[in-house]
Amino acid sequence: MPRLQPSSTEPRPWSQQPDQAGRFGAYGGRFVPETLMPALGELAAAYDEALGDPAFQAELDELLEHYAGRATPLYEARNLSANWGGARVFLKREDLTHTGAHKINNALGQVLLAKRMGKKRIIAETGAGQHGVATATAAALMGLDCVVYMGTLDMERQALNVTRMRMLGTRVEPVTSGSRSLKDAVNEALRDWVTNVRTTHYILGSVVGPHPYPRMVRDFQAVIGREARAQILARTGRLPDALMACVGAGSNAIGLFHPFLDDPVQMIGVEAAGLGLATGKHSASLSAGTPGVLHGCSLYLLQDEHGQVTEAHSIAAGLDYPGVGPEHGLLKDLGRVSYLTATDEEALEAFMELARAEGIIPALESSHALARAKDVASVLGSEAMVLVCLSGRGDKDVAQVAERLGARLEK
């Protein structure tokens, strides 16, 4: 069990990140072909300008409230607490947003930015399909052309989301290279962007990629933590003891954590251990990877001794990525955030437990956070509070889980 962070008056090395070059300590930066470098500079400038424009924030806030359904509830899961026999458990209900996951927060922010930059065409990558659906939704709303790259393995296991994207008028481009999942979809999206950079904005779905993406996506997702902080203070009069979130490439986790970084609150990210860390079939880049460069930034990466990126595995398509965003690398090295893992099997158990105990079917991604939240909550006293990001709902996973659990479902 990681220790609770003592409050301190020392300088806080995690504040004011990233620097001008997009560096979070040793991580981040901009490692892309020259063709994209000017576009990234323009994007960073347009984003800075938008940040300084109250009209931009007002338009985004309006969409977040009336279109996406924010603020999302902070729900106290009393049955879960009773089952676990420890701390009070609060769920930040990102699953209740329009389109069903936190991904919409970022997609709306970026699509407004794309419009502001005069881009007519949107591209995105997707793993679980949640970012793809969020982007397809935002593009439909704004009347922009949209193409989403998706590995064929993910198209099989997240078929519902493929249909949703198509209904929304998006073209889903199947990606057959490599592991046919999220990593390869990002490669293909970047190749499209290199080719069509003058007309196209790439809506990257997590806190990875070249600067300014890790910062910009974090800022758009930080609404999760800002709301959660205000909600728990209003409700209980104090801060929670621990925050927990699943970590794929890291956006829902950093979105929840970031507004609490200077608070005396313990934070725990949960990576996918897949079939188990020892099997090598997992997606636990922070727990079992090493620093490297992929998809435009320096980050913790699953790679072999020759610097070839190795294939990630997780039952949750949205966690099936061999890297974790640069800011998490820094927070890990500083010891500010702890990173644990949960296996496919543990995630499935947590998925079923939340459904049966609270009547909420979570995304398989979010189920990883729940699986470890159980351990954390059960060792803390009943006065303690654990706040878990329920990053998405499980509709997309129903067929996959039913197939996996088979007869076990019938009782």
Partner 1 sequence: MSVSIDQAFALARQEGRSAFIPFMTGGFPSPEACREIVLALDGCGADVIELGIPFSDPLADGPVIQASSKQALDQGVTPASVLALAAELSPRLKAALVVMTYYNPVLRMGLQRFAASASQAGVSGVIVPDLPPEEAGPWLEAARGAGLDTIFMAAPTTPPERLEVIRECCRGFLYYVSMTGVTGAGLNVDQELARGVARVRQGSSLPVAVGFGVAEAAQARALAGLADGVIVGSALVKRAQQAAGPGQAAEAVGALARELAQGLAQGPSV
For the annotated catalytic residues, the residue numbers are: 103, 125, 391
- Is 376 a binder of ligand PLP (CB under 6 A)? no
Question: CA 17, 20, 22, 26: dihedral to nearest 10 degrees?
Answer: -70
- Cis (ω within 30 of 0) for the bond into 212? yes
Whether the bond into 371 is cis, omega within 30 of 0: no
Of 196, 281, 355, 404, the one binding partner 1 by CB under 8 A:
196
Please tell me whether residue 283 binds ligand PLP under the rule CB under 6 A.
Answer: no
Distance CA 311, CA 289 (A): 12
Interacting stretch for ligand PLP, rule CB under 6 A, among 13-21, 82-90, 244-252, 397-405?
244-252
Interaction pattern, residues 189-228, with ligand PLP; x per rule: CB under 6 A: -----------------x----------------------
Task: Determine which residue in the list 12, 13, 19, 35 makes contact with partner 1, applying CB under 8 A.
Answer: 35
Q: How far is the CB of 319 from ligand PLP (least distance, A)?
A: 6
Q: Single out the segment in contact with partner 1 by CB under 8 A; choices: 79-87, 129-137, 308-316, 327-335.
A: 308-316
d(CA 377, CA 384): 8
List beta partners, residue 245. Answer: 269
Q: Which partner, partner 1, ligand PLP, none, binds residue 365 by CB below 5 to 8 Å per kind? A: ligand PLP
| Site membership for ligand PLP, residue 397 (CB under 6 A) | no
Q: Rounded to 5 degrees, what are φ and ψ at 338?
A: -100, 150
Residue appearing with tokens 């000017």: 38
Stretch that binds partner 1, among 6-14, 144-152, 223-231, 295-303 (CB under 8 A): 295-303
60 counts as binding ligand PLP under rule CB under 6 A: no
Phi and psi torsions of 264, nearest 5°: -80, 65
Least distance (Å) between residue 306 CB and ligand PLP: 27
Q: Examine residue 282 and tell whether it contacts ligand PLP (CB under 6 A).
A: no
Interface with ligand PLP, residue 365, by CB under 6 A:
yes
Spell out the residues 6+ positions from residue 307 whose beta carbon is closer than 8 angstroms to its own.
292
The DSSP annotation for 287-323 comes to HH-EEEEETTEEEEE-B-TTSPBPPP--SSGGG--SE
The rounded distance, in Å, linking the Cα atoms of 213 and 220 is 10
For 95-156, the three-class secondary structure string (H helix, E strand, C coil) is: HHCCCCECHHHHHHHHHHHHHHCCCCEEEEEECCCHHHHHHHHHHHHHCCEEEEEEEHHHHH
CB 197 within 8 A of CB 117: no
39 makes contact with partner 1 (CB under 8 A): yes
Q: Of 41-49, 145-153, 247-255, 291-299, which part binds ligand PLP (CB under 6 A)?
A: 247-255
Q: Where in 108-147 is the site for ligand PLP (CB under 6 A)?
A: 127-128, 130-131
By CB under 6 A, is residue 247 in contact with ligand PLP? Answer: yes
Contact of residue 252 among ligand PLP, partner 1, none (CB under 5-8 Å per partner type): ligand PLP
Binding-site member from 17, 170, 187, 400 for partner 1 (CB under 8 A):
187
Tokens of 176: 């057959």
CB 386 within 8 A of CB 89: yes
Among 252, 285, 303, 343, which residue interacts with ligand PLP (rule: CB under 6 A)?
Answer: 252
Q: Do the Cβ atoms of 136 and 108 come closer than 8 Å?
A: no
DSSP classification of residue 197: T
Closest to partner 1 by CB, 298 or 338: 298
Binds partner 1 by CB under 8 A, chosen from 24, 32, 266, 370: 32
Binding site for partner 1 (CB under 8 A): 21, 29-39, 177-178, 183, 187, 190-191, 194-198, 292-296, 301, 303, 305-310
Binding site for ligand PLP (CB under 6 A): 101, 103, 127-128, 130-131, 206, 246-253, 318-319, 363, 365-366, 391-392
